Amino acid sequence: MINKDTILLIGASGQIGTDLTMSLRTIYGASHVVASDIKSASTEVMESGPFEQLDIMDPVRLNEIVLKYKVTQVYLLAALLSATAEKNIELGWALNMRSLSHVLDLARHGKVKKVYWPSSIAVFGPTTPSVNTPQHTVMDPNTVYGISKQAGERWCEYYHQKFGVDVRSIRYPGLISWKAKPGGGTTDYAVHIFHEALKYGRYESFLSETTSLPMMYMPDAIRATLELMEAPADSIKIRSSYNVAGTSFNPAEIAAVVKQYIPHFEITYKTDERQAIAKSWPQSINDSLAREHWNWKHEYDLGNMAEDMMLNLKKKYK
């Protein structure tokens, strides 16, 4: 168990925070990992270690919590995701930008040593090469969420170059997990499909059957995050955000795998506004620099991800 640091997670009640809090508590010890969110978290998170209610738009309260626990690292997960931010442009922009500047300023003034902030495949846009999308390429996001992530990446690099802030970031693909439901993104269908298949034997997809997107199973995303944060500072050569890849598939392909577990499962398609967002994003990601710089390697593809999702969700719904 590593006990040298105390970590504050902001947005710990969400899809990633629910899993990441527990992994960090295993590594650093429960009392060294403070979960926080504007709303309460899962029972597991609430009962396994400290929790503080925090609206990240309030820098005074943020500062109080950092002082109270002598926080040394911040993982900033609070954000509005792609579909939700399109419905509330002002809040999406304000929350996604202001939360980051509050945390980067803490680090700039020496109050914390290290910051983790996730970016997204949403930084890419309609004229980005969509297959095997490189680390450095055209970035013309056309969603509030993507614009905020691209601006956030620029701010991370700026704070690192100008002020020496040790900020690290990953452009997560769509994340699939069973503990917490996703919080309003375009890739959420790939989680909903498992729940609906088990509950009703059918699912209506809001993306068309051939819309491929980069995806990753949560255990890979958590491991990538922890490996990036533990890597020596001089191996982190990209301070905007790293491409990382897991697997890529479309709704028809995941439906075929779900059918192997639930033979009567049926999928239908009725696209909505999320289809246009998905079409503006890459289909697959080139993550060779993450592999080269900090030895990133994914473990889950569509087959073993679906097997694990089914195993855990069947227990949950029993």
Q: Which residues are near ligand NAD by CB under 6 A? A: 10-11, 13-17, 37-39, 54-57, 77-79, 81, 95, 118, 120, 172, 174-175, 182-183, 185, 187
Question: Quick check: is 300 catalytic?
Answer: no
Structure tokens at 275: 């289809």
What is the Cα–Cα distance from 46 to 40, expressed in whole angstroms?
8
User: Binding of ligand SER at residue 17 (CB under 6 A)?
Assistant: no
State the minimum distance, in angstroms, from the CB of residue 181 to ligand SER.
12
Task: State the Cα–Cα distance between residues 191 and 179, nearest whole angstrom.
Answer: 11
Least distance to ligand SER, CB of residue 174, Å:
4
- Binding-site size for ligand SER (CB under 6 A) equals 9
Nearer to ligand SER, 50 or 118 (CB): 118
Which ranges of the chain does DSSP label H, i.e. alpha helix? 15-28, 43-48, 59-69, 82-87, 89-108, 144-163, 189-200, 218-230, 251-261, 274-279, 288-294, 302-317
Active-site position among 69, 145, 159, 242? 145
Q: State the residue number with the nearest CB to ligand SER.
A: 185
Rounded to a whole number of angstroms, the minimum distance from the CB of residue 232 to ligand SER is: 28
Q: Which of residues 57-86 bind ligand SER (CB under 6 A)?
A: 81-82
Cβ distance 126 to 279 under 8 Å?
yes
Q: Does 225 bind ligand SER (CB under 6 A)?
A: no
Q: How many C-beta atoms surround the C-beta of residue 78 within 10 A?
A: 23
Interface residue with ligand SER, options 42, 169, 187, 247 (CB under 6 A): 187
Reading the block at residue 187, the tokens are: 């890739």
170 close to 122: Cβ distance less than 8 angstroms: no
Spatial CB neighbours of 124, under 8 Å, sequence gap ≥ 6: 130, 133, 137, 138, 139, 140, 141, 146, 280, 281, 282
**Smallest distance, ligand NAD to C-beta of residue 269, A:** 21
Q: Which residue ranges make up the site for ligand SER (CB under 6 A)?
A: 81-82, 120, 122, 145, 174, 185-187
Instruction: Report, as residue numbers or ranges, the catalytic residues.
Output: 145
